[in-house]
Copies of this chain bind each other. A is one copy, B any other.
Amino acid sequence: ATDSNISKQLNNLELLAKEKTIANLPLYGIPFAIKDNIDALGWETTAACPDFAFDPKKNATVVQKLLDAGAILIGKTNLDQFATGLVGTRSPYGAVPNTFDPTYVSGGSSSGSASVVARGLVCFSLGTDTAGSGRIPAAFNNIVGTKPTPGLVSTEGVFPACKSIDCVSIMTLTAADAHIVLDVMKSTEVDRIKEAQFHPIPKLVSSFRRPTRIGIPISCQFLDDGQYQKAFAKAIENAKGLDVELVQVDIDPFVKAGKLLYDGPWVSERFAVTENFLNTHPDSFDPSVKQIIQSGASYTAAQGFRAIYQLKELEIETKETWAKCDVILVPSAPNHPTLEDLKNHPILKNSELGMYTNYVNLMRLCAVAVPAGFTEKGMPFGVTLIAQEGSDTALLKLAAQWQILFGLSLGKSEIKAAHSELTISGNNKDIVEIAVVG
């Protein structure tokens, strides 16, 4: 942010402080950053494509809500161009280095948003997460990545990737912080009246049953030298210290749905929103991004509808899984590629990364990526807790308990949080729904 922009925000904050009580300014003075595919007034939106850049006419709905709650926007962050990538290397502004070892990828597409939180430059940041773009970089940088249920948070003022399933995600050091930010960001009925809606408002579940039933995949595929498998086994072992019951579940129907996203017609959504620009500016794209987006031109509408039908059939199969557990625990990624790996296999090494993340939005689930220790090489290892639509708060509470139990240092720092800083307080936001039938 420029000095004048910050001054303006501080002036505005003073005005807010006169109008509102401090309880209505839960983010008073808190600095944050947003991914550069999210509109903020006074800042160009580039989507990591300089020739595409435009001056937005207003703040994205979520940005406005954060500013209204007293937060200070101090920067916009680098990303995989048009949010098309899970690596953080597909940007003309440069690859974002991993905060732990610059020879590894940061993860993406919300690469910069993960980096600035892991490095402690801001208290929180916004990313977007269509296929894993919030969860993967969170995992690779030892932070918490919260991917809300589709429909819970507005995407108005976000340049679309797959418009029908895009989500704004939150990067924080702790689940407790994410809980506060998410509470501010939630869409209201008033917001929704003025915005295109692809999903209903989910019914919110504030807590899981105790003990919470955690589904562990019967088998997990890893694509590295064995480090991730070990790290995941250790994480599961540790998780037994929570008030949970571990049950084995089959995640096959989820993984199949995930393949529909990247090997199927949803990529046509990326093409649908960039086609005109692609025709007029064919040389303005990152080569990998261009290749992927262009592949979206080849699908027919019939293929698109058939993929939707397949997805709905797979959802039936997943209901058996959800009958057995409240939460599914998966590794956030199957491996952690280096920048060198990406140079050699720019498409393959990227697409591998979505194995445990791709299906989540298609199935209207919510997810929280949470740090789960380190590999023998000293790189962060993360897992993702996934639950059915509307379980966002319950999931963040579980993630908070996870962080208390694991007691890891936060982000790139050596700092460990106090128990109180990791705790999500009580039931004051619970909603009790009573159906009187008679």
Contacts and interface: CB of A to CB of B under 8 A. Distances in A.
Nearest to A296: B302
Contact of A309 (B272, B296, B297, B303): B272
Contact of A434 (B268, B272, B309, B434): B434
Nearest to A308: B164
B305 A269 contact: yes
A268 B301 contact: yes
A14 to B, nearest CB: 31
Interface stretch (A106-114, A118-126, A311-319, A328-336): A311-319
Nearest to A311: B196
A309 B163 contact: yes
Interface string A417-438: 0000000000011011111111
Please state the number of chain copies in the assembly.
2
A312 B198 contact: yes
Given A434-B433, A434-B436, A435-B431, A304 B268 contact: yes
Nearest to A303: B301
A268 B196 contact: no
Given A309-B163, A431-B435, A434-B434, A196 B300 contact: no
Nearest to A436: B432
A306 interface: yes
Nearest to A307: B301
A24 interface: no
Contacts of A437: 429, 431
Interface string A141-185: 000000000000000000000011000000000000000000000
Contacts of A435: 431-433
Contacts of A319: 193
Contacts of A269: 302, 305
B433 A271 contact: no
25 contacts: A194-B316, A195-B316, A196-B313, A196-B316, A198-B312, A265-B301, A268-B300, A268-B302, A269-B302, A269-B305, A272-B302, A272-B303, A272-B309, A296-B302, A297-B300, A299-B301, A301-B301, A301-B303, A304-B304, A429-B437, A431-B437, A432-B435, A433-B433, A433-B434, A434-B436
